[in-house]
Amino acid sequence: MSEILVGPRPITCSLRVAAPAATIFELLRNPYRHPEFDGSGTLRGEVNGPEQLHLGAKFGVAMRYLGVVPYTVTNTVIEFEQDRLIAWTHLSKVIWRYELRPIDGGTEITEGWDPSGAPVRHLYGVLGFPARTVPAMMASLERIKDLVEP
């Protein structure tokens, strides 16, 4: 009997931040600020697109895989709820999602990486993406916290 490789499952990481959701959302919806909080180290170049993302907006980013191999992706915003949710995807069909939930004294930010719709999702496990994704997401959340907390 052969094994069907379905690949990695969605991953989420959360962090509580002492800042209002609106402040965090404004940072997230500005693609030109994404390199400031990228914890993966892959956003290494030019960003283009609108200054404020919205549902259906497209934005491109120059990146480096493992800090070495340059490539460019064009993302499309596929989920958008003001001050609550923003998500985008690109050609690979992996979804990056940020959800904001007001809590006492601030906001809980949940960052998600969802490869479940990617046609080649089984390759993400082989290439080690799940193991690198969690530390990168936590680093991004900590950077967001540093940028928005008073």
For 14-41, what is each residue's pLDDT tens digit?
999 999 999 999 999 999 999 999 888 7
Residue 95 banded pLDDT, cuts 50, 70, 90: very high
118 belongs to a structural domain: yes
117 belongs to a structural domain: yes
5 belongs to a structural domain: no
The two tokens of residue 99 are 């959800």
Per-residue b or e along 57-90, where b marks 16 or more CB atoms closer than 10 Å to that residue's CB: bebbbbbeeeeeeeeebebebeebeebbbbbbbb
6 belongs to a structural domain: no
- The number of folded domains in the chain is 1
Domain that residue 21 falls in:
11-148
| The pLDDT of residue 42 is above 70 | yes
| The pLDDT of residue 1 is above 60 | no
Share of the chain above pLDDT 90, in %: 61
Assign residue 94 the CATH number of its domain.
Answer: 3.30.530.20
Span 94-120, mean pLDDT?
A: 92
How far apart CA 86 and CA 73 sit, in angstroms, is 18
Please give the pLDDT value at position 131: 76
36 belongs to a structural domain: yes
